[in-house]
Every structure is written in structure tokens, then in C-alpha cells.
Amino acid sequence: MKVSILKTELIILFILIISTTLSAVEPEFLQVSPKSGDGIMSILRRYHLIDSECDVKEFYRLNKLNKKSKLYTDRSYKLPIFKYEYNGKSIRSTIGINNWDKAIRIRDYNKLLFSQGIKPTKFTQGKKVLWVPYREIYCDEIVKIQPIKSSPTGKRIYPIFGKKYEKTPRKSKKLDGHVYYIVSGHGGPDPGAIGKYGKYNLCEDEYAYDVSLRLCRKLVEHGAVAYMITRDENDGIREGKILPCDKDETAWRNQNIFSRQKPRLLQRSSMVNQLYERHRLSGAKKQMMIAIHIDSRSVGQRTDVFFYYHSSSPKGKKTAYKLQNKMKEKYAIYRKSKEYTGTVSARDLHMLRETKPVSVYIELGNIKNPSDQKRFILESNRELLSKWLFEGLNNFVP
């Protein structure tokens, strides 16, 4: 009797061992063939893997690629996305996790890719295939996905620009392969410099952000990849003179902005540098950081738009002078009675010194001076500023 019980227990133990071993078998990676013209960065962006350093590194490892590698349409490549057979009960029981937030992210990831036509079926239908990014299993790297949507007519939609301007059709491929990091000054708990316009406060971060958004949209229209490092998800590009001051801005990936200056600057330079390295590994040749601020001086001191670069960066200096020359050119056309006096100079500022891309720092004027205020409180002038900066950055010919 005891022998029989012992045999039964051994059989049960053996079954449990086999069952555990089988459940521990790693699922397959999703394999895809690139589209014509695809590079590493574009295929990772399509599958919303580009914002995870963990996923990017795993893509290189899986396919034995390096930063100089090219993709070929007659080959298939493994993506850092596991394919699980959904058990029909829950995502957590399907992949063996207890983390509710992780399961929600995985669910939303699958819904997003299905809505964009990238994933052929819902994970709850058909063969019930659940896609799980590598980061969710091995890295716990939380990535807030902010998708670029497509309308039925093929127009690209970027919600960050606001409802009126979110549709951003491509106008040219002039900037394909170019990457820009736009750092609008201050934000969150720090409004930056404050000026007075009648009974209203003018907060530096609001006006610098609006010009930054407009510039970002122009870059995207012509094929660039452009990151808004400072973000306000509910403002978008705004109209009118008075842009209300608020404190709800965040940094890239929905991070809270630090109130103290040093941690805030380190946060931003680190974000730029991490993204820079990711794009560098994928072969991006032209990357640039643009910081946009509004200065604060005495009420009676008027300044034109002026520029800083770091003394160790010849390319930064060249870019600053390109921007200055564009301003001179536009002043000659639009302001014939007013000579442009904006300067270019070297400054040892954190965002110039500590960021890896070519960098330039722009001051739009003196927020306390009534004449300078017209340059950014008038919506038409904010639009012109962004247009002239865009043309100066890219030597653009309409």
C-alpha cells in the first residue's frame, strides 16, 4: 500500500516537473520582413519599440546587427516581441505574471497595434495571439506609448499639437533621417521668467512652448523625427495673445518636472542623450538639440532674438550663425525701418555643455519689455518666429 502511494506521488511529481518545464518554454519572437526603404529606426518605430532602450538593444542582439547594419526586404528579422497563445482568461495568467499595471500596458499595446493595422487580429479572436514586448518580461522598463495615428485618408495625426493642428500631412522628405530634440524652457512647477501685460501675467514657459510646438510641427511636416522633451498634453498649439499660466507640463515619457534647477536640467539632458544614442546606433547622421527660452531683463531694455552655442562645438556655432543670418534676412524684408541687432555668443550653459547632439540655445526676447512682448504675444508673430527658425535650421527654400 505504501509502495503504491509512493509510486502515485512520484508520478504526480513527474507530471508537475514536466508541466513546469513545458510552461517555462520561452515563446517565439515575432518575425517580420522590412518594407522598402525601412531602416532599423523606422521598423522599431512602427512597432512602438523605439522608446525602450531595452527593446532596441535586444533587436540588435537577436539579429546580430550593429549600428552600421542595413535591413534587406528579402530577409526576415526577429522583433523583441514575444508571441503568446492567449488562454482566453486573462493576460496575467497567460504569461504568468501578477502585475495588473503591466497587464494593462500589454493589453493597450495590442489594441494600439491592431487599430493601426500592424497586428492582423485582436488577441481575443482567431488564433488568439498576444504580443508582449521584450521589455515587459525582462526589463520592467515602462514606456508610455504616444501613438502617431492615421486617419482613413492617410493623414498623420499627432495629438500633442492640439485638435486643430494634430493632422500633420507630410509636405516633403527633405528632413528624412534628421532627428531634433526640442527643449522648451522651464515648465511644471517653474514658469520661468514672468512679465506683465496689463492685468495679465506672461509666463515664459507658455510662450516658449507654443513657439516650440509650431517649430516641431514644421520639422515633422518635412520628414524629421522631432521630440518635444517638455510636454503639455492638453495645451497644443494655441491662438490669441494671452496663454494662461499652468503647472501641468511634464517631461518626455510623462515624467514629473523637478522644481529645482539642477535636477531638472539633468533630467532633460539625460533624456536627450538616451534618445541620441538610440538614434546614433540606428545610423542617424544629423541630430540636433534646440532649447527655446524667453529672457528677463529690465523693462526698458529691448532685445532681438539672440543665440548661444557652446565654445567646444564648431557645428553649434555654425548653426547659431545660420539662425542669426536668417533673422537678419527676414528683418530686412518685414522690418525695413528696424535693423536686426540679435547676437550670437558662446555660453557654458548646462543644456549646451551636457547634451550630445549639436546644440543651440535660443532667447526670443525680453519678456518684460513691451516692444519685445509683441514678438510672442501676437499669434501671427509666434508663427513667424517658428517659420524663420525652421528655415534657418534647414536652409529651407519653399
Cα 349 to Cα 362: distance, rounded to the nearest angstrom: 12
Supply φ then ψ for residue 257, to 5 degrees.
Answer: -85, 130
Which CATH superfamily, name and number, covers 149-394? Zn-dependent exopeptidases (3.40.630.40)
Beta-carbon count within 10 A of 154 CB: 8
Q: Which residues of 136-153 are buried (b: 16+ CB within 10 A; e: fewer)?
A: bbebeeebeebebeeeee
- Mean pLDDT of the 55-82 span: 93
Q: Which residues of 177-212 are buried (b: 16+ CB within 10 A; e: fewer)?
A: bbbbbbbbbbbbebbbbebeeeeeebbbbbbbbbbb
pLDDT at 140: 67
Residue 53 grid coordinates? 532602450
**pLDDT, tens only, 103-149:** 988 998 999 899 888 999 999 999 999 999 999 988 866 665 554 44
Cα 133 to Cα 29: distance, rounded to the nearest angstrom: 9
Q: Is the pLDDT of residue 15 over 50?
A: no
Q: Which of 87-91, 144-148, 245-249, 292-296 has the lowest average pLDDT? A: 144-148
pLDDT at 157: 86
pLDDT at 322: 96
CB 203 within 8 A of CB 192: yes
Q: What is the mean pLDDT of the chain?
A: 88
Cα 137 to Cα 46: distance, rounded to the nearest angstrom: 20
pLDDT at 150: 43
**pLDDT, tens only, 306-315:** 999 999 999 9
Q: Which residues 6+ apart lie within 8 Å of 353 measured at CB?
A: 310, 312
Residue 162 grid coordinates? 492640439
Residue 284 grid coordinates? 542617424
3-state secondary structure of 125: coil
Q: Is the pLDDT of residue 151 over 50?
A: no
pLDDT at 243: 97
Q: Degrees (nearest 5) of the Cα angle 198, 297, 309?
A: 130
pLDDT at 137: 87
**pLDDT, tens only, 160-217:** 999 999 999 999 989 988 999 999 999 999 999 999 999 999 999 999 999 999 999 9
Burial class (CB in 10 A: 0-12, 13-18, 19+), 19: exposed
Q: Where in the chain is the domain with CATH 3.40.630.40?
A: 149-394
Q: Degrees (nearest 5) of the Cα angle 250, 255, 257?
A: 55
Which helix (DSSP H) or strand (DSSP E) does residue 385 occupy? helix 379-394
Residue 286 grid coordinates? 544629423
Q: Is the pLDDT of residue 13 over 70?
A: no
Residue 213 grid coordinates? 510646438
pLDDT band, residue 278 (cuts 50/70/90): confident
